[in-house]
Chains A and B, each alone.
Chain A
Amino acid sequence: MSTATEHAIGAAMPRQRRGAAATLHDSWVVAKRNLRRMTRIPEIVVFGLMQPVMFVLLFSYVMGGAIQIPGTNAGSGTYIQFLMAGIFAQTVTFATAGASAGIAEDMTKGLVDRFRSLPMARSAVLVGRTLADLCQTAFTVIVLAAVALLVGWRIHDGVLNALGAFALLLLLGYAFSWIGALIGLSVRSPEAATSAGLIWLFPLTFVSNAFVPVSSMPGWLQGVAYWNPFSATVQACRDLFGNQVGPVDSAWPMQHAALVSVLWSVLITVVFSWLSVRKYRSAVG
């Protein structure tokens, strides 16, 4: 013991990184931690996958025959073309419930005290978490795309545009994971975070153009659906995947869907990351 203990104390003071480099470095260290956890608890990733895959199968086989998109003939696999952008967008936003639960859980554990007592960037715990969630979301989207291709979904507008659509989806998912982070920091238990992280997503994703045409909704609801950040991303993805059936709705956000999607995602990220980091700093864990 004595030979080893001579190394225990000394003058090895750590250097101080500063600014953005420090934040990036620390966030990456925390992201690595969260990614490792995902490999140790694969159930989380697997169940995260099952839900959207089930949605694809249920919507396309069970409801696909009954829902008719205006300007098309019923059946003949058109609904899956219409549907997939919505399912992708729903998948990336539903992943935020994982961020809520994960952060709420971290906050109840002693580990967060360890983090808060270390000379690390204050935002890194949250940035690292959202980055790891982004990786998980990307993985889920890839698997989901493969399943969708199997049941008849097709990209009609080239690979580059499709990659653009995936980029918009991941950007939206990242933005929403900050909403999830704020929820996770605001509730008192991981259990509460799981439901609180999920319930608001149902109205958000259903009052949109994701599953049914907005034109089929009552007039007052149409305005809400058109300006829903979720709808903009769905519409942009439909355009970029070449999945748009018939003319695009004339509402302004639908006509400029990609731009509106990016603006919404950036706005949400900025506002909610600021709120979350503030909340984390003041949290008395």
Chain B
Amino acid sequence: MAPAIQAENLVKTFGDVRALDGVSLDVPEGTVLGLLGPNGAGKTTTVRVLTTLLRPDSGRAVVAGVDVLKHPNKVRSLIGLSGQYAAVDEYLTGFENLQMVGELYQMSAREAKARALELLEWFNLGEAKDRTAKTYSGGMRRRLDLAAALVVRPPVMFLDEPTTGLDPRNRLALWEVIETLVEQGTTLLLTTQYLEEADRLAHDIAVVDHGRVIARGTADQLKAQIGGERIEVVVHEPGLVADAVAALSGYALGEPAVEKNTRRITVPVSGGARVLADAIRELDSRGIEIDDIGLRRPTLDDVFLTLTGHVAEAAEEGNGADPGGRGRSGRGQGGPAADGPGPDKQAVAAGREH
């Protein structure tokens, strides 16, 4: 099957800055590609080229089977775009915003109205539909913006850092919406600075840095590039560290790492869960009391650091307003997927970062 999004060798320079330095990528129909990279890596520029907002200096792009440079207006009727900045008119109500977008997608007034109401319900904005978007919290504006991108049920969607600046609860809620879209067959290109987000949502990840794709693969493939798994043990008291190292030495593939003050021992292993079970039995039979044990695979943070030589969020602007999103704890953090008006209030501060 032809890819739903295909880019070949896109180059775009602004002055002396080579924002895109030969980006090539393809996204098979019905899959999610996560474009992962720090600020200024070229993620947004790539999205702007693919969504017809920007003409590249050279290169070629095809979206939903249509050449982006030759037939931009045709592409526009097949895509939905939700950007970093909630692209809504703050002096219009939620309903008026969606209705306007529907009419500009060339729906009839009646269709646009019905679709707007349907989306407002789906995004839990039904009660706020007649309030101006100015009164919305950051999380609500993002939802409205995403709803606007979905007005025509586009087969291909571009989400440019959809959760930047959102608190963990709103982020989780948005992830669930995105997962629903993908289940229903939407092809999605998602950019993110959050490794956790790419890990959770994307089938495939392209790591971008300085306008180039520097690595491509599934999250697992990328992690495998970095190296194998390891067992991490936290023993109950400092005196047990030496015993535990001895107990685990039979499974270790390399030198165990010991952090004295946290009583944490990290041992490189291979063999997965079986080794973990053996290690637990061994520690137990020697009467070594432990607080925590687990099998760890390399995180995408590790992948990123290895590939680019710098950490993901260390890029220029440094608007690191969101520690919640960078945790390594992975899936499912952030409590219940509350999507109502309650948690939105917390998002106000975080949602207006630029």
**In contact, B101 and A10 (Cβ under 8 angstroms):** no
Once bound together, how far apart are the Cα atoms of A115 and B100, in whole Å?
Answer: 10
**In contact, B180 and A16 (Cβ under 8 angstroms):** no
A33 contacts the other chain (CB 8 A): yes
**In contact, B79 and A117 (Cβ under 8 angstroms):** yes
**In contact, A8 and B91 (Cβ under 8 angstroms):** no
| Chain B residues with CB under 8 A of A32 | 100
| Chain B residues with CB under 8 A of A6 | 184
| Chain A residues with CB under 8 A of B92 | 33, 36-37, 40
**In contact, A15 and B121 (Cβ under 8 angstroms):** no
Complex: chain A residue closest to B152, CB-CB: A14
| Chain B residues with CB under 8 A of A12 | 152-153
Give min CB distance, A190 to chain B, whole Å.
14
A111 contacts the other chain (CB 8 A): yes
Once bound together, how far apart are the Cα atoms of A51 and B19, in whole Å?
Answer: 47
A9 contacts the other chain (CB 8 A): yes
Complex: chain A residue closest to B339, CB-CB: A1
Q: Chain A CB within 10 Å — which of B77, B83, B84 has the most?
A: B77
**In contact, A41 and B91 (Cβ under 8 angstroms):** yes
**In contact, B83 and A110 (Cβ under 8 angstroms):** yes
Complex: chain A residue closest to B119, CB-CB: A8
**In contact, A5 and B91 (Cβ under 8 angstroms):** no
**In contact, B153 and A120 (Cβ under 8 angstroms):** no
**In contact, B53 and A118 (Cβ under 8 angstroms):** no
Contacting A9 at CB < 8 Å: which of B52, B77, B181?
B181
Once bound together, how far apart are the Cα atoms of A1 and B180, in whole Å?
Answer: 10
Contacting A116 at CB < 8 Å: which of B52, B85, B88, B107?
B52
Q: A9-B153, A110-B87 are in contact. Are A4 and B122 (CB under 8 A)?
A: yes
| Chain A residues with CB under 8 A of B54 | 284
Once bound together, how far apart are the Cα atoms of A12 and B152, in whole Å?
Answer: 6
Give min CB distance, B288 to chain A, whole Å.
47
**In contact, B77 and A14 (Cβ under 8 angstroms):** yes
Give min CB distance, B29 to chain A, whole Å.
13
Complex: chain A residue closest to B89, CB-CB: A111
**In contact, A14 and B81 (Cβ under 8 angstroms):** no
**In contact, A9 and B184 (Cβ under 8 angstroms):** yes
Q: Chain A CB within 10 Å — which of B85, B104, B153 has the most?
A: B104
**In contact, B105 and A33 (Cβ under 8 angstroms):** no
**In contact, B132 and A15 (Cβ under 8 angstroms):** no
A17 contacts the other chain (CB 8 A): yes
Give min CB distance, B310 to chain A, whole Å.
28
**In contact, B88 and A118 (Cβ under 8 angstroms):** no
Once bound together, how far apart are the Cα atoms of A29 and B96, in whole Å?
Answer: 11
**In contact, A113 and B86 (Cβ under 8 angstroms):** no
Once bound together, how far apart are the Cα atoms of A124 and B107, in whole Å?
Answer: 16
B118 contacts the other chain (CB 8 A): yes
Complex: chain B residue closest to A41, CB-CB: B91
**In contact, B81 and A114 (Cβ under 8 angstroms):** yes
Interface size class of B (residues with CB under 8 A): 35 or more
Interface size class of A (residues with CB under 8 A): 35 or more
| Chain A residues with CB under 8 A of B83 | 110, 113-114
Which A1-58 residues sit within 8 Å CB-CB of chain B? 1, 4-17, 22, 25-26, 29-30, 32-33, 36-37, 40-41
Once bound together, how far apart are the Cα atoms of A285 and B84, in whole Å?
Answer: 14
**In contact, A114 and B91 (Cβ under 8 angstroms):** no
Complex: chain B residue closest to A37, CB-CB: B91
Contact with A along B135-179 (1 / 0, CB 8 A): 000000000000010101100000000000000000000000000
Q: A9-B184, A118-B76, A119-B77 are in contact. Are A285 and B89 (CB under 8 A)?
A: no
**In contact, A4 and B121 (Cβ under 8 angstroms):** yes
B186 contacts the other chain (CB 8 A): yes
**In contact, A14 and B107 (Cβ under 8 angstroms):** yes
B306 contacts the other chain (CB 8 A): no
Q: Chain B CB within 10 Å — which of A1, A110, A117 has the most?
A: A117
Once bound together, how far apart are the Cα atoms of A8 and B123, in whole Å?
Answer: 11
B217 contacts the other chain (CB 8 A): no
B46 contacts the other chain (CB 8 A): no
B313 contacts the other chain (CB 8 A): no
Give min CB distance, A44 to chain B, whole Å.
11
Complex: chain B residue closest to A112, CB-CB: B87
| Chain B residues with CB under 8 A of A14 | 77, 105-107, 152
Which B47-76 residues sit within 8 Å CB-CB of chain A? 51-54, 73-74, 76
Give min CB distance, B33 to chain A, whole Å.
18
Q: A8-B150, A9-B153 are in contact. Are A40 and B132 (CB under 8 A)?
A: yes
Which B93-144 residues sit within 8 Å CB-CB of chain A? 96, 100-101, 103-107, 118, 121-122, 132
**In contact, B122 and A5 (Cβ under 8 angstroms):** yes
| Chain B residues with CB under 8 A of A41 | 91
**In contact, B81 and A113 (Cβ under 8 angstroms):** yes
Contacting B76 at CB < 8 Å: which of A25, A117, A284, A285?
A117
**In contact, B153 and A36 (Cβ under 8 angstroms):** no
| Chain A residues with CB under 8 A of B76 | 117-120
**In contact, A117 and B81 (Cβ under 8 angstroms):** yes
Once bound together, how far apart are the Cα atoms of A261 and B231, in whole Å?
Answer: 85
Q: List 14 A-B contacts (CB under 8 A).
A: A5-B184, A7-B153, A8-B181, A8-B184, A9-B153, A9-B185, A29-B103, A37-B92, A40-B91, A111-B89, A113-B53, A114-B87, A117-B76, A117-B79
Residues of chain B whose beta carbon lies under 8 Å from any beta carbon of chain A: 51-54, 73-74, 76-79, 81, 83-89, 91-92, 96, 100-101, 103-107, 118, 121-122, 132, 148, 150, 152-153, 180-181, 184-186
Q: A8-B150, A33-B96, A119-B105 known; 20 other A-B pairs, CB under 8 Å?
A: A4-B122, A7-B118, A8-B153, A8-B181, A10-B153, A13-B152, A14-B152, A16-B106, A40-B91, A109-B85, A110-B84, A110-B86, A111-B87, A116-B53, A117-B52, A117-B76, A119-B73, A119-B76, A119-B104, A120-B104
